[in-house]
């Protein structure tokens, strides 16, 4: 019997046993990037956490029985503004930013659609783009207007929040508090300050599509309707898990729920709502004005993606995380220890039950990592089990030897020069020419190489750290 997965559900405010609607098909949606700028490490957190959940679901239910959809928002005010600022087309900006995002997350060990989808089979990982789903959004908006949940005003279509009595159920905010928050600069065409945009007219030069609800002027969708349309198309009108950052609970997810439930007449949009906690940098909120704004690309210049991934997962996903240099250094030491313990042994046997059990407890990654520590040294060391457990996390995907070779390649060290110096040093030692031996040793150190003389008389070397 498979271990029981328990997840904390924002909708009910409790940790619950997870039971998919269709036991043969788990359906999971996560809000993906808005592709206007390089992704920062705060964006990396949900991507890594939900990648781990995707891996765990595949492990528990079988890879053919899980569908993960992570969308791309490629129509947005910020995108239009940035493209205009840089003097490039919107498509050039979104394609370029998306390509960079894909490169960044691949370096973080995050699975991509190409890694998991098999030709001729139902795709396991879908990455829908908003601009490919405008027709579905228009259909939904028309339906909401017809059923009295949305109205047209000044060429906008607005969702009529008071038409949905259960609005606020996900974020658990009292209506008057939400109204007070929304009252700042209320557009004059809104009936209630809480009403939100489903569709708006496009400004000249902006991307535009034929509008719904009989509006003559071309326009474009609001952000919230994108996720409602894409999740319904790819996962169904009600599905299992909807995930995103804690900052998306209100208004984005609350609005998604309102649109989807009112459009489809369903009792829930998704059964389980998962939200990851905030990320701070060295104890401060990350912001461009504080100068501590770190992109994924920046951090990958100094640290291997595996170190960044481990740093993110050493904190349980719902807790706030403080991103520090010390944390990265600690992760680097941990990985060094694991690589040395696993050596070149292949993964052996099943993923250790203790690791799976820890992850099944609402992705308790600190507990699961402790289990990997236990398998990496002392009397309970089991190199094959360590690798099997680490692989489920997306760690130790290479052997120690392969990793060392990669480190040599990445360091730009001149390998023939190193080999020549080692031969020179060996000859000098054989001739008891200690001065020449020391010169060769110093030259190797200057090249960034650590030399190790083994008991069997051979000499090996690695990149010095």
On whether the CB atoms of residues 87 and 16 are closer than 8 A, the answer is no
CB atoms within 10 A of CB 63: 14
CA distance 60 to 407: 34
Give min distance, CB of 256 to Zn ion, in A. 6
Local structure of residue 4 (DSSP, 8 states): P
Order of all β-strands in the sheet with 239-245:
125-126, 66-70, 26-30, 239-245, 270-276
CA 442 to chain centroid, in Å, comes to: 44
Q: Pairing state of beta strands 156-159 and 196-201?
A: antiparallel
Q: How far is CA 261 from CA 12, 230, 243, 338, 434, in A?
A: 17, 14, 17, 47, 81
Q: Name the helix (H) or strand (E) containing 247.
A: none
**Is 345 marked as binding a ligand?**
no
Give min distance, CB of 36 to Zn ion, in A. 16
Give min distance, CB of 254 to Zn ion, in A. 11
**Is 254 marked as binding a ligand?**
no
Q: Which is nearer to Zn ion, 231 or 365 (CB)?
A: 231
**Residue in this structure with the two tokens 């509008």, named with its chain if needed:** 211
Q: Which is nearer to Zn ion, 227 or 274 (CB)?
A: 227
Q: Which is nearer to Zn ion, 247 or 438 (CB)?
A: 247
Q: Which is nearer to Zn ion, 31 or 170 (CB)?
A: 31
Local structure of residue 251 (DSSP, 8 states): I
Both tokens assigned to 321: 């995380």
CA distance 21 to 444: 61
**Is 31 marked as binding a ligand?**
yes
Local structure of residue 88 (DSSP, 8 states): S
Give min distance, CB of 26 to Zn ion, in A. 19
Q: Which is nearer to Zn ion, 31 or 213 (CB)?
A: 31
Give min distance, CB of 252 to Zn ion, in A. 6
Q: Which is nearer to Zn ion, 31 or 161 (CB)?
A: 31
**Residue in this structure with the two tokens 């908003």, named with its chain if needed:** 130
On whether the CB atoms of residues 14 and 227 are closer than 8 A, the answer is no
Q: Give the interface with Zn ion as residue ranges (CB under 5 A).
A: 31, 227
Give min distance, CB of 263 to Zn ion, in A. 15
Q: Which is nearer to Zn ion, 31 or 124 (CB)?
A: 31
Q: Which is nearer to Zn ion, 227 or 360 (CB)?
A: 227
Q: Which is nearer to Zn ion, 76 or 104 (CB)?
A: 76
On whether the CB atoms of residues 396 and 342 are closer than 8 A, the answer is yes
Residue partners of 55: CB distance under 8 A and separation at least 6: 111, 392, 393, 394
CA distance 248 to 301: 29
Residue partners of 274: CB distance under 8 A and separation at least 6: 7, 8, 9, 10, 50, 53, 241, 242, 243, 244, 317
CA distance 321 to 45: 9
**Is 227 marked as binding a ligand?**
yes
**Is 133 marked as binding a ligand?**
no
In terms of Cα–Cα distance, which of 134, 154, 156 is closest to 145?
156
CA 411 to chain centroid, in Å, comes to: 28
Give the residues across from 29 on adjacent strands.
69, 242
Q: Which is nearer to Zn ion, 128 or 394 (CB)?
A: 128
- Binding-site annotation: residue ranges: 31, 227, 252, 256, 288
- Binding-site annotation: residue ranges for Zn(2+): 31, 227, 252, 256
- Binding-site annotation: residue ranges for ATP: 288
């Amino acid at each position: 019997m498979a271990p029981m997965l328990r997840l904390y559900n924002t909708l009910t405010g409790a940790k619950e046993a997870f039971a998919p609607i269709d036991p043969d098909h788990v359906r999971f949606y996560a809000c993906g990037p808005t592709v206007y700028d390089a992704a920062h490490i705060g964006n990396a957190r949900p991507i890594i956490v939900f990648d781990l959940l995707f891996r765990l679901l595949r492990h528990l239910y079988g890879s053919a029985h899980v569908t993960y959809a992570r969308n791309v928002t490629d129509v947005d005010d910020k995108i239009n503004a940035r493209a205009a600022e840089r003097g490039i087309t919107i498509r050039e900006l979104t394609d370029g930013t998306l390509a960079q995002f894909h490169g960044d997350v691949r370096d973080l060990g995050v699975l991509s659609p190409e890694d998991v989808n098999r030709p001729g089979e139902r795709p396991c990982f879908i990455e829908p783009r908003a601009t490919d789903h405008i027709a579905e959004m228009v259909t939904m908006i028309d339906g909401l207007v017809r059923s009295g949940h949305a109205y047209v005003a000044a060429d906008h279509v607005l969702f009529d929040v008071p038409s949905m009595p259960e609005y606020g159920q996900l974020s658990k905010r009292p209506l008057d508090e939400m109204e007070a928050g929304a009252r700042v600069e209320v557009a004059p065409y809104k009936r209630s300050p809480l009403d939100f945009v489903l569709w708006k007219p496009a400004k000249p030069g902006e991307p535009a599509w034929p509008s719904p609800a009989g509006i003559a002027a071309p326009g474009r969708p609001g952000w919230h309707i994108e996720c409602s349309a894409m999740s319904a198309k790819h996962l169904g009108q009600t599905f299992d898990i909807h995930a995103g950052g804690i900052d998306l609970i209100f208004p984005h997810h609350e609005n998604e729920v309102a649109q989807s439930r009112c459009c489809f007449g369903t009792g829930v949009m998704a059964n389980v709502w998962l939200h990851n906690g905030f990320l701070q940098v060295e104890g401060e909120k990350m912001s461009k004005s504080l100068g501590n704004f770190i992109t994924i690309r920046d951090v990958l210049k100094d640290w291997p993606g595996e170190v960044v991934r481990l740093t993110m997962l050493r904190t349980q996903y719902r807790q706030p995380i403080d991103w520090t240099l010390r944390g990265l250094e600690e992760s680097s030491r941990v990985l060094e220890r694991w690589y040395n313990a696993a050596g070149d042994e292949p993964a052996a046997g099943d993923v250790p039950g203790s690791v799976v059990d820890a992850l099944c407890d609402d992705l308790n990654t600190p507990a699961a990592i402790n289990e990997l520590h236990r398998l990496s040294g002392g009397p309970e060391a089991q190199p094959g089990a360590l690798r099997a457990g680490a692989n489920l996390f997306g760690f130790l995907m290479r052997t120690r030897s392969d990793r060392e070779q990669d480190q040599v390649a990445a360091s730009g060290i001149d390998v023939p020069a190193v080999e020549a110096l080692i031969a020179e040093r060996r000859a000098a030692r054989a001739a008891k020419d200690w001065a020449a031996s020391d010169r060769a040793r110093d030259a190797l150190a200057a090249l960034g190489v650590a030399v190790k003389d083994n008991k069997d008389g051979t000499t090996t070397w690695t990149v010095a750290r």
